[in-house]
């Protein structure tokens, strides 16, 4: 038996080796340690220009993934050029297809102000121009010419009619022709008294003159059309004079930009063509200058057509670089933007001024970091993000439109070209699922940055780890931490790593402990955080989460759950398991029993039969069967019927860490040798009888230790662990102290033979040259029992092989 000495049960950081008395003396260190592989991957994704090299950052929570990614992206962003501004403007030819305009960085606000000022000035100048004496004089002249032309035509007709003794009369109903006789108008009754020939002559003249009058009247609309065209031409000339003069005053630097020059020309032509908008607004008596009509669209939507809708405008400071954006709520609208609607007369309508930008617009030309789980949990967000990356453009589509939920006035804005590096941050399981289930993922996210969970313990890393702790305390404005306090934190980091040769890189958990420890330091009115504060924070955190553990230990202490810690039993052993509740894990002993009898070579896993055993546990039991059939009585049929069960187990059982304990119980049942109940066992087993490493070894040892300590430590109690798990030991001080006092034991084993010899106190035995095990050894007794079963089975079945016993099996 090779019991481990106390110094092998835990790794302790020596505060004397730390080069400071407290973290107040530590130089701030903002980098990470042990993450070179991940950081290089982030730099690669940030620097490479080819498409598809988007990044997925994976690793455990609290490892600094988010902060490290943000820091590196900001560093790389400063070396990239400032991207362009993007705006949407009206498409004067097709209003439902707004135009996306690319502008030099920082130009968009100037462009918008320029258009606002242009409309503001024209709002005053155009109405004033149309009220000027010059315009009014020309307009009166045109109106007078129209009136004169109309009057001249009528006067000429009236003269011709008078020459034929016919008078032209104007009545409320229009014009009327009547005969003249002897200088007097012929009345109706007088007309009837005339001779028929004279009546016919008058009727013929009036009919002929009525046709001439109709021709004269038909000329009036033409005169009015000509007049209207002349007025429109005058209006255009006057408006063009005002608009062109004002446009000529626009900053030449802006007009030198082709996109702006083209839009201003289109806007100039549209303003000239729609000068009546300005006149109508002036006639309505809007309060204040015209910018109100354009800047407050709810007051006069007619002027929305001249708005410049800024999607994104860049900061043009000297060291601005490319943008680095995040989106904590990556819904479809927040990613790709949205088109808002307003209610008008009971209908939902929209225009290009209601287009709102998304995170992709803000990050265009730079970097966008998103939480992968959040993106995948939002409806249509992941699909939209992939589509934008595939097409390299931002196409705004609302969820209502995608699902055809409502029918509204919609827009088809120009897509904006996309040049953004997407960074998703998630866990390893999520990354594996995306690789396996999404065929597009590998093409779009070619780079992965995998953050390590732990770093190796050495002098350099320990010194850096101490600096990180000190830097965290400084950054969070905590009290300085003494060297002993830092050493205690490093010890806890080693325990969290489940490896005495490593320290966890889940720095978030360490930071939380440090903050809680400061609270206890403050309570005792200390200016520094000491190891006692760290120890209390560790204990209090464990206490808060340990209610279930305490109730389970209470059930064992009261005998509700049967666990023996003294005496010897055949076919019975204490197995160890780990239960996880959130981020808290604890060990619990379980009684495992085995029964063996004559049979047809069947090993029954009761947990699997009742569907409480998981696949890994079932695999472990099958390995036991392989071990037995390959090692014992190989020249005779395997004639065993055995059953294995976790007693008082009412939930699922999975994992193979109890397979060695199950094999020990089975060997005990076959050899009739009792197992020391003061010992508990953990470890998986191979078909060759090797005891293999398992997880949670510290919690398992401590769980059985608590059970033994409650009933009283005898000095014979202990735990058998795999030899390969020794370097993972980081036991609590009370367990180490009990081992040092000879009250508890931790015993590493490498093979089943070693373990069964310790548990039974009988040598396992090694097969000799005569192909037999030494008499009285455990293996000899097991093989003898299996041979007895084979002989009994042969005798029971009989020579014909049709005996009653075989039929029952």
Q: How far is CA 32 from CA 36, 218, 461, in A?
A: 8, 92, 10
CB atoms within 10 A of CB 400: 16
Q: How far apart are CA 691 and CA 345, in angstroms?
A: 80
- Angle (CA) 342-345-346 rounded to 5° is 75
Strand duo 602-605 + 640-646: pairing: parallel
Helices and strands (DSSP H and E) totals, the chain: 30, 30
Residue 122 phi/psi, 5-degree rounding, is: -65, -25
Q: How far apart are CA 356 and CA 337, in angstroms?
A: 5
C-alpha closest to that of 101 among 113, 91, 114: 91
Q: How far apart are CA 411 and CA 479, in angstroms?
A: 58
Helix (H) or strand (E) holding 57, with range, is strand 55-58
C-alpha closest to that of 272 among 231, 229, 230, 235: 235
Residue 633 phi/psi, 5-degree rounding, is: 45, 55
Q: How far apart are CA 479 and CA 22, in angstroms?
A: 10
Tokens of 11: 């790794």
Residue with tokens 């010194």: 463
For residues 234 and 135, the answer to whether their CB atoms sit within 8 Å is yes
C-alpha closest to that of 86 among 354, 387, 357: 357
> Given CA atoms 562, 563, 568, 571 in this order, what sign does their dihedral have?
positive
Residue with tokens 């630097």: 253
Produce one character per residue of 487-501: b if its CB has 16 or more CB atoms within 10 Å, e if not: bbbbbbbbbbbbbbe
Q: How far apart are CA 689 and CA 673, in angstroms?
A: 19
Q: How far apart are CA 506 and CA 503, in angstroms?
A: 9
C-alpha closest to that of 83 among 307, 325, 312: 312
The percent helix, strand, coil of the chain (3-state, each to 5) is: 50, 15, 35
Helix (H) or strand (E) holding 355, with range, is strand 355-356
Tell me the three state secondary structure of residue 752: helix
* Gyration radius of the chain's alpha carbons: 48
C-alpha closest to that of 64 among 508, 457, 510, 583: 508
Q: Which of 22, 590, 643, 657 is catalytic?
A: 657
Sheet holding 584-598, edge to edge: 602-605, 640-646, 584-598, 572-581, 679-681, 718-722, 745-749
657 as an active site residue: the answer is yes
Strand partners for 426: 58
Q: Which of 63, 398, 700, 743 is catalytic?
A: 700
569 as an active site residue: the answer is no
For residues 82 and 210, the answer to whether their CB atoms sit within 8 Å is no
Q: Hey, which residues are catalytic here?
A: 657, 700
């Amino acid at each position: 038996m090779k019991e481990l000495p106390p110094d092998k049960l835990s790794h302790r950081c020596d505060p004397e080796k730390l080069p400071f008395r407290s973290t107040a003396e530590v130089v701030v260190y903002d980098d990470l340690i042990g993450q070179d592989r991940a950081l290089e991957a982030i730099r690669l994704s940030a620097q490479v220009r080819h498409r598809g090299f988007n990044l997925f950052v994976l690793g455990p929570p609290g490892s600094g993934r988010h902060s490290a990614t943000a820091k590196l992206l900001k560093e790389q962003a400063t070396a990239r050029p400032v991207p362009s501004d993007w705006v949407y403007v009206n498409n004067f030819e097709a209003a439902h297809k707004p135009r996306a305009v690319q502008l030099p960085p920082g130009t968009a606000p100037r462009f918008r102000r320029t258009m606002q000022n242009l409309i503001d000035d024209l709002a005053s100048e155009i109405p004033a121009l149309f009220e000027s004496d010059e315009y009014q004089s020309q307009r009166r002249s045109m109106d007078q010419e129209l009136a004169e032309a109309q009057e001249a035509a009528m006067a000429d007709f009236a003269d011709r009619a008078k020459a034929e003794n016919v008078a032209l009369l104007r009545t409320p109903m229009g014009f009327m022709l009547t005969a003249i006789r002897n200088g007097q108008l012929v009345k109706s009754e007088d007309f009837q008294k005339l001779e028929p020939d004279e009546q016919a002559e008058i009727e013929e003249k009036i009919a002929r003159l009525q046709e001439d009058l109709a021709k004269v009247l038909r000329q009036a609309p033409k005169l009015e059309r000509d007049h209207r065209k002349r007025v429109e031409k005058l209006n255009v000339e006057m408006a063009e004079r005002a608009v062109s003069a004002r446009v000529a005053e626009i900053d030449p630097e802006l007009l030198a930009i082709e996109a702006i020059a083209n839009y201003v020309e289109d806007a100039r032509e549209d303003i000239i063509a729609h000068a009546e908008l300005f006149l109508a607004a002036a006639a309505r008596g809007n309060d204040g200058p015209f910018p109100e009509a354009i800047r407050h669209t709810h007051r006069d939507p007619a002027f929305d057509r001249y708005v410049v809708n800024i999607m994104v405008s860049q900061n043009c400071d000297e060291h601005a670089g490319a943008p680095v954006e995040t989106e904590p709520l990556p819904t479809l609208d927040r990613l790709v933007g949205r088109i808002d609607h307003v209610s008008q007369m009971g209908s939902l309508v929209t225009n290009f001024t209601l287009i709102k930008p998304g995170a992709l617009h803000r990050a265009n030309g730079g970097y966008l970091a998103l939480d992968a789980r959040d993106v995948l949990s939002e409806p249509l967000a992941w699909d939209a993000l992939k589509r934008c990356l595939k097409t390299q453009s931002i196409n705004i589509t609302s969820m209502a439109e995608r699902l055809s939920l409502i029918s509204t006035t919609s827009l088809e804005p120009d897509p904006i070209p996309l040049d953004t590096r997407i960074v998703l941050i998630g866990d390893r399981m999520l990354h594996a699922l995306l690789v396996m289930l999404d065929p597009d993922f590998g093409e779009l996210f070619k780079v992965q940055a995998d953050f390590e969970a732990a770093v190796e313990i050495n002098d350099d890393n320990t010194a850096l780890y101490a600096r990180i702790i000190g830097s965290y305390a400084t950054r969070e404005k905590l009290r300085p931490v003494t060297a002993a306090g830092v050493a205690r934190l490093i010890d806890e980091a080693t325990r969290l790593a489940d490896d005495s040769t490593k320290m966890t890189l889940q720095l978030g958990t360490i930071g939380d402990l440090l903050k809680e420890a400061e609270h206890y330091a403050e309570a005792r009115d200390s200016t520094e955080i000491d190891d006692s504060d760290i120890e209390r924070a560790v204990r209090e955190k464990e206490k808060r989460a340990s209610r279930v553990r305490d109730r389970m230990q209470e059930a064992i202490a009261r005998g509700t759950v049967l666990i023996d810690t003294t005496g010897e039993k055949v076919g019975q052993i204490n197995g160890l398991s780990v239960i996880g509740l959130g981020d808290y894990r604890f060990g619990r002993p379980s009684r495992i029993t085995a029964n063996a009898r004559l049979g047809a070579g069947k090993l029954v896993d009761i947990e699997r039969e009742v569907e409480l055993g998981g696949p890994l546990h079932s695999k472990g039991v099958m390995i036991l069967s392989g071990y037995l059939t390959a090692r014992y009585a190989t020249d005779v049929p395997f004639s065993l019927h055995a059953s294995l069960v976790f007693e008082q187990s009412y939930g699922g059982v999975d994992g193979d860490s109890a397979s060695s304990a199950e094999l020990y119980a089975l060997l005990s049942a076959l050899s009739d040798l009792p197992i020391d109940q003061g010992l508990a066992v953990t470890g998986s087993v191979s078909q060759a009888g090797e005891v293999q490493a398992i997880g949670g070894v510290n919690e398992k040892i401590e769980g059985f230790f608590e059970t033994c300590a409650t009933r009283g430590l005898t000095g014979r109690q202990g735990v058998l662990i795999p030899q390969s798990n020794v370097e993972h030991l980081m036991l609590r001080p009370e367990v180490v102290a009990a081992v040092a006092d000879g009250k508890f034991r931790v015993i590493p084993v490498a093979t089943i033979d070693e373990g069964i010899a310790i548990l039974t106190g009988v040598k396992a035995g090694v097969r000799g040259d005569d192909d037999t095990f030494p008499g009285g050894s455990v293996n000899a007794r097991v093989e003898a029992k299996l041979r007895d079963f084979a002989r009994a089975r042969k005798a029971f079945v009989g020579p014909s092989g049709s005996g009653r016993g075989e039929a029952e099996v």
